Amino acid sequence: MPEVTPAIGLQLWLDDQARVLRLAGPLRSLLALPAQAGARVHDYLERHSWLVLEGQPADWQGQPLDLDFHTVMGHALHTRGWLQRHEQGWMLQLFDIGDLLREQRWDRQRPLLGEIGHALRECGSERLLQTTREQLYSLAEHWQAAALRLMLREAGGWRHYASSDETWPWPDDRKLRERLERWPAHTLIGVDDDPELLALCGAASLFLVPYRQGLEAEAWVLCAGARQAPPVDMALALVRTLTEPLLVRHRRQQLQHQAHHLDDLQRQLGAGWWEWPAHGELQLDPALAASLGLANRVSLGQWLARLHPADREPAQLALDQARDGQALSLSVRVPDPDPLAPPRWLHWAGQGQGGQLRGFLLDISALKAQEQQAGAARARLENLIARSPAVIYVQRYAEGALHSDFYSASLAPLLGWAADSEQARQPGLAVHPDDRPLWLERTRGLLRDGQVRCRYRLRDHLGGYHWMLDEARLLRNDLGQPLEVVGLWLDVSEATEAAERMRQSEERYRVLVEDSPAMICRYRPDLTVLFGNRPLADYLGCMPEQLQGADLGQWLSAGQREAFLLRLRALTPEQPVSSAEICLQLPGREHAWWVWADRGLFDAEGNLLEVQAVGRDNTEVRRSQQQLLQGAKMATLGELATGLLHEINQPLNVMRMAVANTLKRLESGAADQAYLEDKLRRIEAQVERAARLVDHMRVYGRRSAVEREPFAAWAAVEGARALLEEGLRGKGVTLRLEPPEALAQVLGHQDQLEQVLINLMVNARDALLEKQVAQPWIRVRQALHGGGLSLLVEDNAGGIDPQLHERIFEPFFTTKPAGVGTGLGLSVSHGIVSQMGGCLSVDNGAEGACLRVELPLHSTS
């Protein structure tokens, strides 16, 4: 064994096959030794050093050998040495040249570092991107890489720079970033070092060089396609040189950007900074100074002069206090050059720092304007509340009870209570004794249902009571627990009292309606009764409740009902009232006559909604009227008695003659059949005549039917003729009837119209007889006109004094001697004609009076 010489560096003894026989030297301890015994020197070396040791050891002599060994530290041990023949084998003597190499590399790269740093620091900001790319490109060349990429961390993300536009198959950016975020960024890594990275990048060669500040990586340079990893320290230095100026410039850009932003915001806000050195002038933000119309530096006097006079003293005081160390904070006004424009409001805030004051001014005009508007609105609202008959109150909830907390200012004017009075604290005490249960129920209801609306009386400070409408709501907190009650008292005394008065008046009205002897009812246009009072029910033989919904028409005959409806249809909003005498068929009574007045109620369109009616029983009056009429009729008959006797006597005479003559003939035996037959026929005709007359008298003497019915007006003329003609003839008066071509119908009672005509004819007869007219006549004719007809009774007795025309219709007016005239004939006749809806009038014709009976025609439609 050769003697071990104390050595420097590293010595390896090899055999001819380059197997390591022995190691020596101080560097030996650094080497990462291969596991197997008898390993070749290659197994100690990094792979690229194998190129140096091609062939057998004999081939390596005589030249310097640069070999990089694996070390236990991980990085390579760079050595340089020579191979010498040593006994049967070889000895490789090596020295550590790491420092030397580093020095050389630094020497080579120093210019590059300088260039990169210089280029990136000095280029204009518009060329920064391009310059960065160029520097990346030269670095890629330097590292003999295909492409470089720089990832720079920025607020909120990463910015990328690439050495060229060529697309290298870069790994998925997001996944890569995620991986790198978790990477302890302190040294260069190769994809081979991390299976996760390898999976991301595939087979491509990729080295990643970090630049870090503090604990985090601020940038990564991705070096793709390099044959070998750049030396770590160089790579780190290059990446730092590349990144630092970029980061500085980026930060500067950001700061500039932010400063711009800030200026912009300040301008928009009307804000700006100010400074006031201990012994100097006020310095203002230039933009702010310009907007205030001031120089950038102003004296105290100038500054105060710019403020509103009222704000100068407070400003001076605040400034003094700020110099004593207190914070400055006050609002000041800066008048607008336009005296009509409102002043500008500024909030002036600041603080002292080492004798120097510093702070900001903020335009708060908009705020102040809003504040003023809100203040005005609030004042208006408060004024409104104070003047309204309403009190807003708040009651706090505590332990199951409500405690008054707040009242609006309207409390005093409304109830005269002071806000701190006993009543205000406990309003329950001021509740009217009768209403206390309502008050207690209000509180219970409020807590139970969350809201309440009720009405009770509260005593004011003078002892008077007010009706209050209370509307309150319970507010709860997030947990649903009661917090407070917000409510409103509305003084509704007037309304409540008015309602009470109304109720009382309604009650009085109801009593009036109920107790009135008159029949009162409301009904619909289809005659359905809505309401009927007791008298009406009594008359109709039922209970008042039964009236509701009953058909009023059930007590009317078909004709009456039709006439009734016709009358209702004629009601209009302009003429809403109509009255008539109606005839009813009541249960258990023969007939009832009611005087009935209707008033129609209409809607806005003029449609009849309902009718209010008042009725009065007129049956008795009607009955007496009928009796009166009957009396008058009978009187007429009595008056006609002479004529009638004559009328009946006449046929009797004829018959007597006929009988006497027949008897004579029979006695003489000359009575043949023809003669007998002739006499008997004559007798029969006379019997007929007498019977007709008696019949008619019976009919005439009968009471009139209850209801009106249609009849031919001319039939009444004929009836009068039957009773009068013979009598007139006996007095030498000619009765001239001019029968009409068509028989027109009227509505009423034929006997009554007959009575009228008899009265008129008898008056004419009396006048004719009184005047002793030579050829007295009475003429009756009918004339049609429009919707009516006239019956004209004329005579040739010289007429009636026009001055008497008005008076002759008065009851008891007569020009006839006492005991002869009653003065009732024309008055009764007038009444009858009026009842038929017509009128009776008088006129003087050429030869005598002309009395005209005008009647409406009965239409069957």
Residue 449: what are its φ and ψ, rounded to 5°? -100, -15
Residue 838 to residue 201: CA distance in whole angstroms: 125
Out of 242, 764, 840, 853, point to the residue binding ligand ADP (CB under 6 A). 764
Helix 98-122 crosses helix 232-269 at what angle (to 10 degrees)?
20
Residue 221 to residue 209: CA distance in whole angstroms: 5
Minimum CB distance to ligand ADP, residue 703 (Å): 22
Which region among 252-260, 498-506, 647-655, 763-771 touches ligand ADP (by CB under 6 A)? 763-771
Q: With contacts defined by CB under 6 A, how many residues of the chain interact with ligand ADP?
A: 19
790 three-class SS: strand
Restricting to residues 840-859, which ones interact with ligand ADP according to CB under 6 A?
A: 849
Minimum CB distance to ligand ADP, residue 729 (Å): 18
Minimum CB distance to ligand ADP, residue 802 (Å): 12
Residue (662 or 827) nearer to ligand ADP, CB: 827
Which region among 461-469, 686-694, 733-741, 762-770 touches ligand ADP (by CB under 6 A)? 762-770
Is-contact 697 637, C-beta < 8 A? yes
Minimum CB distance to ligand ADP, residue 627 (Å): 19
Which region among 278-286, 470-478, 646-654, 825-833 touches ligand ADP (by CB under 6 A)? 825-833
Helices (H) and strands (E) in the chain, counts: 21, 33
Residue 719 to residue 754: CA distance in whole angstroms: 6
Residue (237 or 764) nearer to ligand ADP, CB: 764
> Please, what sign has the CA dihedral across residues 164, 169, 175, 176?
negative
Residue (152 or 808) nearer to ligand ADP, CB: 808
List own/partner pairs for 128-135 with CB under 8 A and 24 or more apart.
Answer: 128/246, 128/249, 129/161, 132/161, 132/242, 132/246, 133/161, 133/162, 133/163, 133/164, 135/242
Minimum CB distance to ligand ADP, residue 712 (Å): 25
Give the Å distances, CA to CA, from 601 to 522, 577, 594, 607: 10, 10, 22, 8
Contact between 428 and ligand ADP (CB under 6 A)?
A: no
Residue (679 or 779) nearer to ligand ADP, CB: 779
Contact between 763 and ligand ADP (CB under 6 A)?
A: yes
Minimum CB distance to ligand ADP, residue 754 (Å): 15
Contact between 782 and ligand ADP (CB under 6 A)?
A: no
Residue 837, CB-side half-sphere exposure with 13 Å CA sphere: 15
Query: x/- contact string, 722-761, with ligand ADP (CB under 6 A)?
Result: -------------------------------------x--
Minimum CB distance to ligand ADP, residue 797 (Å): 5
Beta strands (DSSP E) in 590-739 are: 592-602, 608-617, 709-712, 734-738
Which region among 640-648, 691-699, 738-746, 820-828 touches ligand ADP (by CB under 6 A)? 820-828
Contact between 823 and ligand ADP (CB under 6 A)?
A: yes
Query: Token pair of 16, please?
Result: 């001819």
Out of 389, 482, 740, 821, point to the residue binding ligand ADP (CB under 6 A). 821
Residue (767 or 855) nearer to ligand ADP, CB: 767
Restricting to residues 789-818, which ones interact with ligand ADP according to CB under 6 A?
A: 795, 797, 800, 808, 813-816
| Torsion angle in degrees (nearest 10) through CA of 155, 161, 166, 171 | -40
Minimum CB distance to ligand ADP, residue 805 (Å): 9
Residue 32 to residue 350: CA distance in whole angstroms: 69
Residue 461: what are its φ and ψ, rounded to 5°? -65, -15
Contact between 778 and ligand ADP (CB under 6 A)?
A: no
Residue with the shortest CB distance to ligand ADP: 825
Residue 593 to residue 706: CA distance in whole angstroms: 10
Residue (484 or 639) nearer to ligand ADP, CB: 639
Residue (210 or 643) nearer to ligand ADP, CB: 643
Beta strands (DSSP E) in 477-559 are: 482-491, 519-523, 529-532
Residues that bind ligand ADP (CB under 6 A): 759, 763-764, 767, 795, 797, 800, 808, 813-816, 821-823, 825-827, 849
